[in-house]
Structure 1
Amino acid sequence: MFLSRIVGQAVFDPVGDQVGKLRDVVLAVRTARQRPRVLGLVVEILGRRRVFLPIMRVTSMDSGQIITTGVLNLRRFEQRRTETLAVHELFDRTVSFGEGLEGTVYDLAIESDPRRDWYVSDVAVQEKGKRFGRRGASHVLEWDEVSGLAQDESGQGATHLLATMDEMRPADFASALRDLTPKRRLEIVAELGDERLADVLEEMPDAFQAEILGVLDPDRGADVLGEMNPDDAADLLGGLPAKTAEQLLLLMEPEDADDVRRLMEYEDRTAGGMMTTEPVVLLPDATIAEALALIREPELPPALAAMIYVCRPPVETPTGRFLGVVHFQALLREPPSTLVGAIVDNDIDWPRPETSLAQVSSLLAAYDMVALPVVDENQHLLGAVTIDDVLDHLLPEGWREQDDTALEGGLIR
């Protein structure tokens, strides 16, 4: 059974309830001649916590699902010095085989013996291409036919590990990166596209953001910041030394930098400090059909897609006079040809940039909303505060790195 077929698959208890997802396989790599023994699985459960599931507690494992005895120790997984993570440490390792050939590991196969012990049986290797960037031939070899797997991480790339992470949500990807060694983490970052890296950085704690941005080439760092939501980019730059932040701002596209500079002027725990400058804004003579087309955009966060902001020209923030909001449910109730200006709501005292976090939270709760417009004293729309940004500030500092302490050391059945 090849690991690429089962990594990311759901893990179920005996009655069919999902308890997590498989993220890696823990091996005991002894020598180049002895097949590594599978010790257990790394399973991601509630709150993106990664725990260890001994292989003896796995009753069934195939490409569709993994079934356990139903008991998981919820203590966070900590890798021991004698353990090797198959996906994170062996995928993309440069190895040698045959008559002086070299290649890259892109998969591993495991199998069980009659005693139900599991071992690594085969290694899938792609030969290094020799000309014009062509891919080399693929080989499936037995463990003892390959040299270079019972050593450290030297010669390890990131291409095939990235393939196993490709479908992860940004928050899950960020969690996986935090569990890697700094060296391995930076290898992965080097392979990511700017947009994907921006999405992942937005989900990482401040210390990890600074670490990653600190090793990027400044030009690339500026490009990544330009792909981030302006409010997240402003928060990240606000935690850097002023000289470094200014250097990056100067390298950004002027339009992106202007939005970020404007947000950095506001206090952190205020509406201005939390808002994004890129809500969905329409003129009052736009139709509902046009509004629905805009909020269907797959890259638009759900909280921003929940509401249309109707303003006089210009529609770039800060806009002309703010006329009101239209909830997406209202768009679904009216004929597509209806003008959005005919169904706006504007009967709430909307927050100003200086409105406190507590007041913004109260407004969201009082009116059952997931986003709020932020306006100035002249009723120009400056941006929008979404519920996810408010929660980021309400949760304890460093919450992305914390576990649910109520679960520590417990069992899930």
Structure 2
Amino acid sequence: MRAWQRPEIPPLPGQSGAPWLHDTAADVLVEARPTDVARLYVCGITPYDATHLGHAATYLAFDTLQRIWLDGGYRVHYAQNVTDVDDPLLERAAATGVDWQELAESQVDLFRTDMEALGILPPNDYVAVTEVIDEIADAVSQLWDSGVAYAVPTSGAAGSDIYFDISAAEGKAPWKLGDESNLARGDMLALFAERGGDPDRPGKRDALDPLLWRSARPDEPSWPSRVGAGRPGWHIECSVIALKELGTDFTVQGGGSDLIFPHHDMSAGHAAALSGHPLAGVYSHTGMVAYQGEKMSKSLGNLVLVSALRAAGTDPRAIRLALLAEHYRTDWEWTDQHLLRAESRLAAWSVAFGPGHVVGVVDTQTVIAQLRLTLGADLDTPGALSILDDAVLSPVTEPALLAVAIDALLGVAL
């Protein structure tokens, strides 16, 4: 699957150091220093209603991470999935009377357009689940053969659903449930039921065992496999795509904090059971964006869409600056004031660092060094914006060079 056009990143004298990033599993800041290539996997969209500001904030956070790595001289290999077959997509398609494939294609196209408008660096590998069905089916068969998967009979379907045996996997793989989330079992059960799991399914060995392969149902898409016709469960898709494109022990696994459990805990378990190695070195998660008092979500319908803001004439650079003004790990609520402040900031920067700028006495190289240090300290974009706001008030010696730094490090071309 094609991604979107890559924005040009201008060359900048000097370089960043390896960034420090919060690791969810250890709950500390760790140095995200690649051994060779910085390998990054960020979970992609389920394309039935894209792209709201919560999505944009997540992809912008990991865009910032990539820009720091690139500025530090590292090569970056970035992979992202598209969950283009799953229950929410099929349910939306049925409710609206649209073919599920057409719905997915239209929303992926919209997502590409939004990401390109926002200047987000595209993945090197942009992979739809439907493109790797055979690989996922083979992985499920491998888990079955290794004794960490089992069948649960299904009424009304020709075959059985295949589940991941957590207990068996913990005895064989370098993984324990909760390694990443650090949650108590009671909390896991509540979130599992909330986020696509089926803890009350009869026949499961453990209420938390996740679905690997859903056997074929009438009026649902399905594909042949050695364990019977069906389609992938949610978590196994990311395990397979990440291992296929990035290999084991890659640098950073990223996504929204709502994916920590069960999705990232389980996908790490599947990957460890398949490969015998940990999935990633660092697990990094973004906070949730709320709107009108609730977390922005498709199910609630309280979405602020990037495409709607753009259609109303909002400069995508202002959207980007509005999101950068909040730290990537915080939960926060979007208001119109975020956009007004961002538009004001963009206007001030354009005057101070754009054509016809005023040359001052503050050393530009020192300001750029401060930007690099601040961004390298757990992607502190609010701190970086504050440094640049100060540079508006106390003009720098080379405003044009600072404009290059803003473009390279923050993705805002003035």
TM-score, normalised relative to structure 2: 0.25
User: More strand per residue: 1 or 2?
Assistant: 1
Larger radius of gyration: 1
Looking at both structures, which has the greater relative contact order when contacts are Cα pairs under 8 Å and sequence separation is at least 6?
2
